[in-house]
């Protein structure tokens, strides 16, 4: 059967030379094949002879016309291709020098529906050459204001401006429900060598779901990509990005922000309650669902306030597809997870925290990102955000990818992301995850599995530069915020200023203290005299950094047991040991962090899949631990000796560090003023020690302000009847001393009162 001949398209209104017609036909072919890299060269208004022709593509349209402002009758368009490519030539009476912009396209779909829209390709670009220059240099730290999806009004038309970095892409289109996910409809404009693609889509509104369809450098269409700068994402398992306006929420925390910027946090009490929002508390009567941001505001904030915590630290709130990653395998770096509500609802939660006097820290994950095909991995068909060489670009521990910190645009992306949360969400600080894995090129790698730096060393010089710059810019723009490093090695000067060669963090998690402390407390008391240096060793380096003392989520998951069940002995001894542990953490120099549930003496390990064991609060022993945590936080706040001088020797003094045989530790904590003096004594055995003499710095009365063996906490109520007057009997090289009764597996804290 002979091949059916297709009718030839009608000639253009303004006849063109054959060579030009051939060029136009080739461009139309490329557009219809989804391969046109420069859509503005074909679509929209274009000179034709002495006037203008308007070309547009509406897949499946049966007929179309152009509606010009101020013209009563629409101008019919001719179909140049049956797929829906049209051209309308303006009548001679309407030919003007400037290109027409205020027009709409009216077309009839294959289903007979009449649709009228503005033409995307009649609108100008928005990003300036200066924007592109700064992005290329890696110094445009407000890129979250430029890239991504932003609601804009251009030439009195409301719509969404999209912009994305994909330098090796041959073509980038924005796709979504609004164009039936057809990448031929909204191809984007390439902005030269910057690698940025942008497009304004008129009349698109908040809530639109979108992704980017990218043809990679090799010519293949990649899996649809979520927007790296998306401010909201669909709830898993869906992976689309969502258009949202972040500027509609009206903040009311000005007083908090102003006071924060004036506060010396290193000399202030900081007690952090670490929380995973999806498992703190659930609603069992409603299919065990998560609490919403608003419900968390109603329940979590009063709870944290009642317990006396100064801050909440949230496990990564950024969007992530897999619940079991706890947020640490982030996909949507700029999107607060939709699991618990909208961005505005999360803003309201933070606002309410600030009104309650509670700061909010976020866990932040610039050390790695997952391989999900809709994310950053091979974003434009090349190793754009990650290194191409797996010896640099993959993370052996987690199977994830490592950022190329040496690329200006990647460093810019991450710094911009840090600033975004501090700016748009009024976050009070960032705890940076897995810093050690960033600093060392050979982290978790064997010989031959890593590439030395330019000097032959193992230090990741680009990551160091990135971390320093991030801290410098964050502190300069947002006074009073804190950055906290989870750094598990002895890398020097993590918390020293960058101008002194440090990384510039405010605080560093003291992982060595945590590990030694838990090893000591996990030992049977009868053997603790052989482990005595596990507790004294921390004071050899306690002031080398600004340390935070963490008992975090990492210590109570995956076969590690809860804090309670790490403790040896029978059930009474386990509770007593836990109370002693928590008091020791409070009294030791450094800021404090405790993961949720440990204040309840949680029995089971933590799992993200279910709520904390709130039913335990019916038991006095569990309520006693919670009461102790409340009193410890109150003491931390009210006693300058426990928070004013956390980071140098002036705030700490050993009374007795050497009584290994009795497993007793005694030390003093000092505030800035001489009157602020506390004596802390730990008895790490289940033996009551009567007549225990300890030398003290001053004469006077020492009031027993805390005893973890108090009956109200579940203890045996052994103590010192409220305190004791120091005698002038010398002991341990001091002129005055106390003769105390030390309760079993307990800590006592004594406050000095001048005679």
Render pLDDT for 422-455 as a digit per residue (tens, 0 to 9): 999 999 999 999 999 999 999 999 998 999 999 9
Note the helical H segments in 85-244. Answer: 129-137
β-pairing verdict for 394-395 and 103-108: unpaired
Residues present in the chain in total? 755
Specify which residues 369 forms β-bridges with. Answer: 401
CA pair distance 195, 554, nearest whole angstrom: 40
Assess whether pLDDT exceeds 70 at residue 2: no
Q: Which residues neighbour 242 within 8 Å (Cβ) at sequence distance 6 or greater?
A: 207, 208, 209, 210, 230, 231, 232, 233, 234, 338
Mean pLDDT of the chain: 93
Collapsed DSSP state (helix, strand, coil) of residue 678: strand
Backbone angles phi, psi at 668, to 5 degrees: -110, 145
Helix (H, G, I), strand (E, B), or coil: what is residue 61? coil
| Alpha-carbon torsion, ordered 642, 644, 647, 648, to 10 deg | -100
pTM score, whole prediction: 0.93
Q: Which three-class secondary structure state does DSSP give residue 259?
A: helix
Reported as a single tens digit per residue, the pLDDT across 625-650 is 999 999 999 999 999 999 999 999 99
pLDDT tens column, 684-708? 999 999 999 999 999 999 999 999 9
Q: How far is CA 392 from the centre of its chain?
A: 23
Catalytic annotation, pick one of 363, 433, 639, 646 = 433
Mark whether 213 is an active-site residue.
Answer: no
CA atoms lying within 13 Å on the CB side of residue 92 = 2
| Rounded CA separation 177/524 (Å) | 63
Predicted pLDDT of residue 6:
38
pLDDT at 387 over 60: yes
Helices (H), 425-527: 435-439, 461-477, 511-522
**Can you list the alpha helix ranges (DSSP code H) found in 219-342?**
254-262, 277-280, 293-307
Using alpha carbons only, what angle is made at residue 111 by residues 105 and 117, rounded to the nearest 5 degrees?
Answer: 20
Q: Which of 213, 486, 676, 704 is catalytic?
A: 486
State how far the Cα of 228 lies from the Cα of 715, in Å rounded to an integer: 53
The beta-carbon contacts of 443-448 under 8 Å, at least 24 apart in sequence, are 444/395, 444/396, 444/397, 445/391, 445/396
- Residue 486 catalytic? yes
Tell me the mean pLDDT in the region 38-46: 94
Q: How far apart are CA 696 and CA 719, in angstroms?
A: 18
Q: Which domains does the chain have, with CATH numbers?
A: 18-122 (2.60.40.10), 129-242 (2.60.40.10), 254-509 (3.20.20.80), 649-753 (2.60.40.1180)
Q: With bands split at pLDDT 50, 70 and 90, how would you rate the model's confidence at 52?
A: confident
Residue ranges in 59-212 assigned as alpha helix (H): 129-137
| 101 Cβ contact partners less than 8 Å away, ≥ 6 residues apart | 45, 122, 123, 155
pLDDT digits (tens, 9 = 90+) for 483-528: 999 999 999 999 999 999 999 999 999 999 999 999 999 999 999 9
Residue range 539-559, pLDDT digits in tens: 999 999 999 999 999 999 988
């Amino acid at each position: 059967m002979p091949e059916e001949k297709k009718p030839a398209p009608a000639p253009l209104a303004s006849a063109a030379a054959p060579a030009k017609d051939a060029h136009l036909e080739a461009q139309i072919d490329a557009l219809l094949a989804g391969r046109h890299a420069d859509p503005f060269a074909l679509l929209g208004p274009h000179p034709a002879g002495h006037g203008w022709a308007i070309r547009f593509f509406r897949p499946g349209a049966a007929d179309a016309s152009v509606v010009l402002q101020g013209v009563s009758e629409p101008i019919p368009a001719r179909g140049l291709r049956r797929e829906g490519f049209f051209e309308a030539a303006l009548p001679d009476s309407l030919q003007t020098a400037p290109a027409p912009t205020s027009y709409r396209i009216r077309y009839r779909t294959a289903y007979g529906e009449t649709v009228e829209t503005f033409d995307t390709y009649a609108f100008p670009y928005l990003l300036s050459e200066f924007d592109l220059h700064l992005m290329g240099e890696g110094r445009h730290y407000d890129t979250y204001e430029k890239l991504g999806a932003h609601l804009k009004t251009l030439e009195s038309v409301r719509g969404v401006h999209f912009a994305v970095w994909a330098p090796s892409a041959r073509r980038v289109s924005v796709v979504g429900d609004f164009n039936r996910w057809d990448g031929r409809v909204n191809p984007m404009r390439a902005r030269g060598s910057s690698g940025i693609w942008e497009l304004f889509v008129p009349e698109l509104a908040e809530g639109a779901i979108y992704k980017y369809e990218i043809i990679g450098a090799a010519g293949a269409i990649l899996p649809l990509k979520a927007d790296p700068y998306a401010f909201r994402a669909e709830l898993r398992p869906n992976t689309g990005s969502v258009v949202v306006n972040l500027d509609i929420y009206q903040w009311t925390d000005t007083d908090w922000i102003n006071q924060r910027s004036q506060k010396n946090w290193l000399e202030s009490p900081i007690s952090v309650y670490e929380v995973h929002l999806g498992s703190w508390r659930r609603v069992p009567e409603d299919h065990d669902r998560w609490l919403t941001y608003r419900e968390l505001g109603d329940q979590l904030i009063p709870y944290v306030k009642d317990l006396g915590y100064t801050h909440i630290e949230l496990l990564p709130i950024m969007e992530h597809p897999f619940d079991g990653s706890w947020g640490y395998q982030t996909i949507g770096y700029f999107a607060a997870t939709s699991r618990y509500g909208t961005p505005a609802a999360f803003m309201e939660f933070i606002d309410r925290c600030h009104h309650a006097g509670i700061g909010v820290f976020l866990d932040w994950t610039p050390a790695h990102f997952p391989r999900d095909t809709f994310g950053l991995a091979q974003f434009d068909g090349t190793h754009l955000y990650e290194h191409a060489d797996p010896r640099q670009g993959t993370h052996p521990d987690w199977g994830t990818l490592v950022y190329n910190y040496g690329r200006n645009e990647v460093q810019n992306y991450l710094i911009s992301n840090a600033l975004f949360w501090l700016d748009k969400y009024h976050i009070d600080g960032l705890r940076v995850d897995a810093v050690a894995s960033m600093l060392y090129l050979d982290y978790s790698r064997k010989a031959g599995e890593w590439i030395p730096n330019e000097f032959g060393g193992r230090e990741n010089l680009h990551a160091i530069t990135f971390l320093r710059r991030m801290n410098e810019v964050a502190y300069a723009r947002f006074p009073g915020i804190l950055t906290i490093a989870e750094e598990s090695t002895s890398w020097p000067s993590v918390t020293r200023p960058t101008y002194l060669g440090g990384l510039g963090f405010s605080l560093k998690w003291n992982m060595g203290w945590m590990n030694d402390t838990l090893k000591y407390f996990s030992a049977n008391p009868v053997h603790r005299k052989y482990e005595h240096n596990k507790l004294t060793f921390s004071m050899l380096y306690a002031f080398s950094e600004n340390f935070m003392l963490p008992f975090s989520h990492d210590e109570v998951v995956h076969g590690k047991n809860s804090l309670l069940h790490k403790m040896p002995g029978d059930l009474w001894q386990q509770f007593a040991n836990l109370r002693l542990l928590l008091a020791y953490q409070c009294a030791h120099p450094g800021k404090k962090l405790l993961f949720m549930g440990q204040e309840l003496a949680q029995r089971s390990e933590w799992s993200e899949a279910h709520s904390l064991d709130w039913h335990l609060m019916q038991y006095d022993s569990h309520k006693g631990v919670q009461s102790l945590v409340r009193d410890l936080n109150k003491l931390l706040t009210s006693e300058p000796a426990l928070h004013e001088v956390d980071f140098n020797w002036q705030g700490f003094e050993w009374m007795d560090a050497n009584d290994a045989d009795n497993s007793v530790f005694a030390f003093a904590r000092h505030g800035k003023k001489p009157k602020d003096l506390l004596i802390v004594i730990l008895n790490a055995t289940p033996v009551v020690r009567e007549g225990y003499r300890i030398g003290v710095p001053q004469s006077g009365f020492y009031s027993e302000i805390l005893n973890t063996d108090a009956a109200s906490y579940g203890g045996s109520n052994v103590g010192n009847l409220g305190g004791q007057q120091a005698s002038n009997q010398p002991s341990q090289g001091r002129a005055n001393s106390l003769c105390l009764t030390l309760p079993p597996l307990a800590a006592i804290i004594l406050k000095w009162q001048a005679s």
